Amino acid sequence: MIFKRGGGASPSGPNDPRMLQLAMNAAGIGVFLYDVTGDQLSWDARTRELFGVPDHDSVQPADIMIQLTHEDDRAWVARAASDALDPKGTGTYTAEHRTMMPDGSVRWVAVNGRTDFETVGGKRRAVMTCGVVRDITEERAIMDELMVAQTNLATALDAANLGIFQSDFIKNTSSWDRRAVMLFGADVEGAQLGQREIFESIHPDDYEEVMAAIQRSMDPKGDGEYKADHRIRGADGAFRWIGVRGKTEFGMHNGKQAPLYQRGVVFDRTEDKMREEQSALHVREMNHRVKNTLSLVTSIMNQTLRSSEDLDDFREKFSGRVGAISSVHSIIVDGTSTPARLRDLIESQVTPYVPDTGDCLEVEGEQVQLTSERARALGLVLHELATNASKYGALSVAEGKVRITWARVREDGHDFVDIRWEESGGPTVPTPERTGFGSKLIMSLLGKGDGSFAKTDYLPGGVQVYMRVGLEAD
């Protein structure tokens, strides 16, 4: 009766076997019966349809279902069927596998059966297996899509170094994936993150702000957004920055609106914070540099104005001195860091004043770097020396020569660079009657009380300047 579809009288009641047949028809379930003794398989039309042979007879050889199984699944399905007939086993047969349709398409089926055994002459043997077959093609397609989505999500989370978490506010429990546990500084092996572990890991200076963010995210009147960047203590005791972003789900609990769940991500913000701090430091440093540069330009303007004979003289001197500051600034910025190389500074300030003919400039010294403030002032000093040499000294004649040498020295625990400017072959330069801009600038550069000093000699063979410049930060 169970293998008959359609026709016949209606079921007389819930205990009528025909009720089962109608339910199975409605669910699209097929049935089969394997007679172990007769080695024959009986299957209904639905089962034959699911195995791709709707026109086959209802009674077939025992291995017909194995033969119609997809070739990639056939071996393990045969082993499962054999195990279901083993008198030492449970007699249960469960398999999800593929079958091939006449049009070449693939169908997934779930087969569940149970074997009846009998004992004859003290030996237990299988008698028959009865089971059902169900189409799970759509279910498998959905599962495959979910697996692809989960794989894509896992790949994205891994690439972004994101950990995920979920909190159940009703049960007061939280679950964290492996990466989130690591980011919170816990021991990954079997780690469990509860409220105590989380709160104890938060930096004391960030604790109140984090608590306030949590409370805002749990307020049913708010948007449920949780956003916090804070420091946590790792397993090694060191602190690092993490970012946490979450969204709270609200619903009714005990008759009122309440937070139910919160799901979100955790990510490492240590490098971001380091970059932000470095950027802020650069802004403060640039602000300091700009103020100092403006102050220096103002001082240069006032001193140049006092020493100029007329407006044209002022314009020429002031433009040259401001240009010297600009070129020094370019050296500092192009170096992408505060220190400026002394050799670059000399070449930028002196070379423009060297005649194209003749070997009249000699530069020699080891690699030395100057702080930005010292580089600006020394650049102006070199500019003044080069300007005066081109007008009145060694660079004003073809036979003249300027030799610039320097060397690092250490004295009383401080680092300095000794610089010598030596002119030769030029006209005699008399000792000036009053202190000029260059001399004042040298004193401004070196008058810092750190052991720096300068000495200028106006010799018959040419001007000679000896400077000791501190290398430590101002």
Blockwise average pLDDT, block size 10, the chain, 474 residues: 50 66 82 92 92 86 89 95 94 94 92 94 92 94 92 85 90 85 66 70 92 94 94 83 94 93 92 85 73 67 74 80 66 54 85 75 90 78 83 86 94 90 90 69 62 86 90 67
Whole-number Cα distances in Å, 90 to 82, 113, 129, 450, 465: 12, 11, 12, 93, 104
Q: Is residue 6 part of a domain?
A: no
Strand, coil or helix: 195: helix
Residues 381 and 448 occupy one common structural domain: yes
Domain boundary among 141, 172, 207: 141
Residues 107 and 235 occupy one common structural domain: no
CATH number at residue 99: 3.30.450.20
Q: Is residue 290 part of a domain?
A: yes
Contact (Cβ atoms closer than 8 angstroms) between residue 122 and residue 148: no
Q: Is residue 395 part of a domain?
A: yes
The confidence score (pLDDT) of residue 42 equals 92
The confidence score (pLDDT) of residue 56 equals 83
Q: How many separate domains does the chain show? A: 3
Residues 263 and 307 occupy one common structural domain: no
Residue 434: alpha-carbon gap to chain centroid: 62
Model pTM above 0.85: no
Task: Give CA–CA dist 386/379, Å, rounded.
Answer: 10
Strand, coil or helix: 172: coil
Residues 233 and 315 occupy one common structural domain: no
CATH number at residue 310: 3.30.565.10
The confidence score (pLDDT) of residue 135 equals 95
**192: Cβ contacts below 8 Å, ≥ 6 apart:** none
Residue 456: alpha-carbon gap to chain centroid: 57
> Per the structure block, which two tokens stand in for 414?
């401080």
Contact (Cβ atoms closer than 8 angstroms) between residue 401 and residue 341: no
The amino acid at residue 102 is P
The confidence score (pLDDT) of residue 8 equals 54
The confidence score (pLDDT) of residue 2 equals 43
Q: Which helix (H) or strand (E) holds 274?
A: helix 270-307
Residue 312: alpha-carbon gap to chain centroid: 58
Domain boundary among 234, 253, 268: 268
The confidence score (pLDDT) of residue 290 equals 72
Question: Crossing angle of helices 372-391/342-350, nearest 10°?
Answer: 30
Residues 130 and 33 occupy one common structural domain: yes
Strand, coil or helix: 128: strand
Query: What string of DSSP letters covers 67-90?
Result: HTB-TTTHHHHHHHHHHHT-TTS-
Can you give the residue range of the structural domain that contains 243?
161-268
